């Protein structure tokens, strides 16, 4: 799926703030909390069927949506917000709350809104009322709230997984994922047995994202085993295996992530550790089994990678490239 990207990073520092303010006007009035230059920020947007997904990286700011803004850029979207990092203090007609990084919260575009936030890396999902009116009683009751609960944390993991996959999705995926996202949202903010059952797919996506984060943080630990993951995720062994079934199993996934980290280390010409030491650091003690696993994964030996890196010709990992679109403004993109 193509994204539309607006960035100030290529502008003169003296023009960055004004450009950012114009991009969001008349939907919002934005004032920096740290006056001065620069104001490097970026907003990427995707359309996922009837959903709009936005990712913003920006400095600290005071953001207002007043009655005047409501008149100039009307809209009645519910906005689910999740900050990878950065705290946000929000004021809506329902009251005031502070959502730290990692805690999702929801508000309504049709309400007056005010927030003060630190520097953020933020993902938002916008749900138009006309498409999801059947969920209005749940979403309206929840608006103006943060979800600092275990299910709220799972919802955050799901949002991270959704945003990570957006560049590789097709238009055919959009409708299904929009439905899954709404089922996941409702199940996490107003749980019931029926809602949790309907949201099973989304819950699995969220659990898988959390499992990946745990694995990434423990790749150098010998204690990283399926039983450890089960305890940390609160799932059974059979549930864990189902989560990683499409990845060839959890043990295979862990090994592959370790091999990727070793590959990256060997591509660094400044890393002069013996190959055996690098492998041991990621829990490969037997050199023969490590060598076979490395060649099977990358089609070359670890020594080939080290020699090429030393000669200035590293073997690069293949990376997905992102396509970009454009749009005249945030309000125009979201049809406000």
Q: Which CATH class is domain 218-310?
A: mainly alpha
Which residue, among 92, 101, 190, 184, has the nearest Cα to 137 in the 3D structure?
A: 190
Supply the pTM of this predicted model.
Answer: 0.75
CATH number of 3-199: 2.60.120.10
3-199 and 218-310 have identical folds: no
pLDDT at 299: 87
Instruction: Report the C-alpha gap between 170 and 15 in whole angstroms.
Output: 36
How large is the C-alpha radius of gyration of the chain?
Answer: 23
Strand ranges, E, within 76-191:
78-85, 88-92, 95-99, 105-108, 113-117, 120-127, 145-146
278: pLDDT strictly greater than 70? yes
Give pLDDT, residue 317: 53
Burial 61-70 (b: 16+ CB within 10 A, else e): bebbbeeebb
pLDDT tens digit string along 281-308?
A: 999 999 999 999 999 899 899 999 999 8
Backbone angles phi and psi of 113, in degrees to 5: -150, 140
Helix (H) or strand (E) holding 213: helix 200-217
Phi, psi torsion values for 245, nearest 5 degrees = -60, -40
Supply the pLDDT for residue 75.
85
CB within 8 A of 102, min separation 6: which ones? 82, 83, 84, 153, 156
Both ends of the chain: CA-CA distance in Å? Answer: 22
Per-residue model confidence as pLDDT tens digits over 28-42 = 999 999 888 899 999
The domain spans of the chain are 3-199, 218-310
Measured in degrees and rounded to the nearest 5, phi and psi for residue 41 equal: -150, 155
Q: What is the pLDDT of residues 99-119, one digit of tens each?
A: 999 999 999 999 999 999 999
By C-alpha distance, which of 183, 242, 166 is closest to 211? 242
Work out the angle between the directed axes of helices 200-217 and 250-266 (0-180°, nearest 10).
Answer: 40
């Amino acid at each position: 799926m193509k994204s539309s990207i607006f960035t100030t990073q290529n502008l003169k520092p003296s023009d960055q703030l004004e450009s950012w303010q114009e991009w969001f006007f008349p939907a919002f009035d934005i004032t920096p909390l740290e006056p001065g230059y620069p104001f490097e920020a970026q907003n990427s947007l995707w359309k996922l069927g009837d959903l709009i997904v936005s990712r913003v990286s920006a400095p600290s700011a005071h953001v207002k949506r007043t009655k005047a803004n409501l008149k100039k850029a009307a809209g009645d979207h519910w906005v689910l917000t999740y900050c990878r990092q950065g705290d946000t203090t929000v004021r809506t007609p329902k009251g005031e709350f502070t959502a730290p990084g990692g805690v999702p919260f929801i508000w309504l575009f049709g309400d007056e809104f005010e927030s003060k936030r630190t520097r953020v890396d933020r993902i938002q999902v916008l749900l138009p009322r006309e498409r999801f009116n059947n969920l209005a009683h749940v979403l309206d009751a929840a608006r103006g709230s943060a979800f600092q609960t275990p299910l709220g944390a799972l919802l955050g993991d799901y949002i991270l997984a959704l945003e990570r996959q957006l560049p590789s999705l097709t238009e055919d995926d959009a409708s299904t994922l929009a439905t899954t996202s709404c089922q996941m949202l409702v199940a996490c903010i107003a749980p019931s047995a029926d809602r949790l059952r309907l949201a099973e797919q989304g819950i699995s996506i969220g659990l898988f994202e959390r499992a990946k984060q745990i694995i990434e943080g423990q790749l150098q630990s010998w204690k990283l085993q399926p039983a450890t993951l089960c305890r940390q995720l609160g799932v059974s062994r059979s549930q864990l295996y189902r989560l990683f079934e499409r990845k060839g199993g959890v043990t295979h996934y862990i090994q592959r992530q370790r091999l990727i980290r070793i590959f990256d280390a060997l591509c660094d010409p400044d890393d002069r550790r013996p190959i055996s030491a690098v492998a041991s650091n990621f829990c490969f003690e037997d050199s023969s089994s490590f060598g076979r696993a490395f060649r099977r994964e990358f089609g070359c030996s670890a020594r080939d990678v080290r020699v090429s890196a030393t000669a200035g010709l590293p073997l690069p990992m293949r990376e997905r490239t992102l396509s970009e679109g454009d749009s005249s403004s945030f309000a125009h993109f979201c049809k406000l």
